[in-house]
Structure 1
Amino acid sequence: MLRASSDSPKTGAGKPELSVGFVLLNQFTLAAFAGLVDVLRLSADHGGRSRQIHTAWRVMSMDGLPRTSSAGFAIEVAGALPDDPTGFDYIAVCGGNDYPNTYMPPALRDWLQRTAASGVRMLGICTGTFALAQADVIGSRTVCVHWNVLDAFRARFPQVRAVVDHLFVDEGDLITCAGSTAAIDLGLYLVARHCGREKAQQAVRHMMLQGMRPAKLPQAHFYADLTHIQDARVRQAAHFIEQRIDNPPSLDAIARYVGLGRRQLERAFHEALAMSPMSFQRGLRLEYGSWLLQNGHSNITQIALDCGFSDGAHFSRDFRARFGLTPREFKRRGGAEEGTTSPSAVVSERVGR
């Protein structure tokens, strides 16, 4: 079992510039939690010595008992939720794979509501935003969620505006992030705000990052909304394709993955999406390429290889057929123009969205 620090934020003259209380939910994701904590740790002291000088953190759970991450690692927390949360600048609610669970202990709901009402800023980390929405503390604010849970979030909380076109969204008293490495970017943002850009850069250097990504950088999400598709085999095949954009599987490999013959799989795709599995796969790869052209720094040949194309010429030919522009024209003009259609939009149209 891993043990979290039991240190509390300092008070009085020695109070750190930034203090964060972490609330771990069941099956929280390690990457998001650890990334944010490490940004604070590496900004707190010189030489990575981890003394809570400039920043401070405390890891808690609702009842003070350990919480197990989605990877199976148990974290022993420093304690239960405090009666008075105002000793923290932020409360970070860290979620993970337990987001489909619709039950929230009343004690946790009440504490989150009291914390929000007290003026302490809230952070929704990964699917911790589900808990904040369930506790009814979001109101009219816009939230950021990971693209992989967008449909589930919108289905449960249709009154909340959720987006995936940012790494994180700052609404003043509520900041929500997509999770995973976006939590690192959120941490750097907070450190720069409260402790200065120099302290944030200190963490960047220690973590061997290339820099701080801005909140408005869109998530690299390349998937089709298949929630209205009843055929589980098509959904399973689509997920398999999404996971291998850079190394496209053959039609036979996809068919074997879902336990079908290739003709059965092609027939299922045509009935559900009016396209073949290979057309669906090519569309996702081209959408990935369009995102890299707008947000990456690689040349077109490298982007082609990253999207699973054999060379730049093959990529350029397919890209122009889909978008009406060559990759070079697309990049120069800053993205798709009116009249071009993204692959995911084509899929959404064909499933009746």
Structure 2
Amino acid sequence: MRAPKNAVSEAVQAHALVGRLDDLSQTRGVGVDLNVGILLWPRFPLLSLGGLCDALRHAADRGDQSRQLRCVWTTIGAQNGAVESSCGVAVPVQSAFPPAGQFDYIVVIGGLLPHLDQVDPRYWTYLREAADAKVPLIGICTGSFVLARAGLMQDRVACVHSFHYEDYRRMFAHLRVVTHADYLIDGDRITCAGGISVIELAARLINLHCGPDRAAKVIHQMTVSRQGGSSFVERRRALGYFSVEDAAVRHAVLLMEENIEAPLNIAVIAKMTGTSVRQLERAFMAEMKASPNEFYRWMRLRYARWMLLNTSRKITDIAYECGFSDSAHFIRVFRQACGVTPGKLRASRGGGDQEE
């Protein structure tokens, strides 16, 4: 049976887009940009490992060749060992506790909670040595529990899946925790709720280390836009990817993108990027020709404008999703910045919903 014309056209466009993104990547030079070590805890979820590794492989090479060129990933643990996943499939260890300092990140993919302590004691030692070496640690799924049990989440906030929220509060009553988020970056500790949220976190890290072209390829290859409602893919279309030289500014922009609905204070962003507010302001003026607050507001308004023109969301809902306290405040700020009210902008494309 012959494929429909529109399907063939979409396939051609998809291949062309990946080709353009790969061509952009060639202009950035060669070499490993992102090196990730992965510690698997007993009965870990395969989806978390697969999502992370697949994102890295798409970013690492041209097309679908999957060579570890720009990104490198390694499962680490006891020599000649293998770790059984929650579905029973065992994954071999590739390297026996190599020097932690060789990695940009060490990722812990946690498993079923009853198996939390059923690991070789060297796993705990390795994590603490990595923390002492200032290697950023990432806890995925119940990996946040592993980091907390190792004593590595003091004065840090963990992000967990809502299913495990009460478990975390019960087991670590003295530690702070949030839920209903994909992931949380708290200095050199990053925690992720797991599931498909892993793809979003991986894209952030790839954007930060490998560039916007690599992150865009990951999103294109690994996600499908939902029908109706805003999605991660739609936000990427609305905001695009910013190519920024300064590492602190890149990190700050990622945090702003992540926290559009509930904007972070610039002082919090500065702390999370390892700079002072004054240093961050100087870096933003040099890179973006705007202060962090001005850039953050511009980003939220740009996302709002995109939703007005491309979705049927109510203006009140758009206002809240873009971090405005109410629709009246949103309408006023939008009109000052764009010279037109949200309702009139939407009406210009033939839509309805003129709430103002």
State the TM-score, normalizing by the size of structure 1: 0.57
- Cα distance change on mapping 1:50 and 1:181 into 2, 3 Å: same
Please point out which of 133, 149, 161 is paired with 1:118: 133
Matched, 1:66 2:82: yes
Q: Structure 2 matches for 1:130-145, cutoff 5 A?
A: 130-145=145-160
- Counterparts of 2:260 and 2:110, CA distance in 1: 22
Cα distance per residue 1:106-140 (max 9 Å; x no partner): 32222111110101111101101111100001110
Indicate if the aligned counterparts of 1:141 and 1:160 stay in contact, CA closer than 8 A: yes
- Counterparts of 2:95 and 2:215, CA distance in 1: 28
Please point out which of 148, 154, 159 is paired with 2:163: 148
C-alpha RMSD of matched pairs (Å)? 2.9
- Counterparts of 2:170 and 2:193, CA distance in 1: 17
Indicate if the aligned counterparts of 1:42 and 1:48 stay in contact, CA closer than 8 A: yes
Matched, 1:129 2:144: yes
- Cα distance change on mapping 1:162 and 1:47 into 2, 3 Å: same
Cα distance per residue 1:223-243 (max 9 Å; x no partner): xxxxxxxxxxxxxxxxxxxxx
- Cα distance change on mapping 1:55 and 1:171 into 2, 3 Å: same
Matched, 1:334 2:320: yes
Q: Structure 2 matches for 1:262-341, cutoff 5 A?
A: 331=317, 334=320
Identity of matched residues, %: 31
- Counterparts of 1:146 and 1:41, CA distance in 2: 26
SS at match of 2:146: helix
Task: Determine which structure has the larger helix proportion and give its number.
Answer: 2
- Counterparts of 1:192 and 1:337, CA distance in 2: 30
Cα distance per residue 1:173-230 (max 9 Å; x no partner): 1111000011111100000000001011111222244427754489xxxxxxxxxxxx
SS at match of 1:92: strand
Matched, 1:191 2:206: yes
Matched residue type, 1:88: F
The residue number in structure 2 matching 1:34 is 50
Indicate if the aligned counterparts of 1:125 and 1:177 stay in contact, CA closer than 8 A: yes
Please point out which of 37, 42, 47 is paired with 2:63: 47
Q: How many residues get paired?
A: 221
Matched residue type, 1:94: I
The residue number in structure 2 matching 1:162 is 177
SS at match of 2:113: coil
Indicate if the aligned counterparts of 2:79 and 2:93 stay in contact, CA closer than 8 A: no
The residue number in structure 2 matching 1:16 is 32
Matched residue type, 1:193: L
Matched residue type, 2:148: A
Matched residue type, 2:141: C
Indicate if the aligned counterparts of 2:41 and 2:110 stay in contact, CA closer than 8 A: yes
1:332 to partner: Cα distance = 6.2
- Counterparts of 1:194 and 1:21, CA distance in 2: 15
- Counterparts of 1:109 and 1:122, CA distance in 2: 13
- Counterparts of 1:138 and 1:119, CA distance in 2: 14
Deviation >6 Å, runs of 4+: 335-338
SS at match of 1:334: helix
Q: 5+ unaligned residues in a row in structure 2: which ranges?
A: 1-28, 226-232, 237-256, 262-306, 327-356
Indicate if the aligned counterparts of 1:188 and 1:200 stay in contact, CA closer than 8 A: yes
- Counterparts of 2:67 and 2:179, CA distance in 1: 35
1:98 to partner: Cα distance = 3.5
- Cα distance change on mapping 1:103 and 1:154 into 2, 3 Å: farther
- Counterparts of 1:143 and 1:78, CA distance in 2: 28
- Counterparts of 2:187 and 2:223, CA distance in 1: 29
- Counterparts of 2:312 and 2:315, CA distance in 1: 13
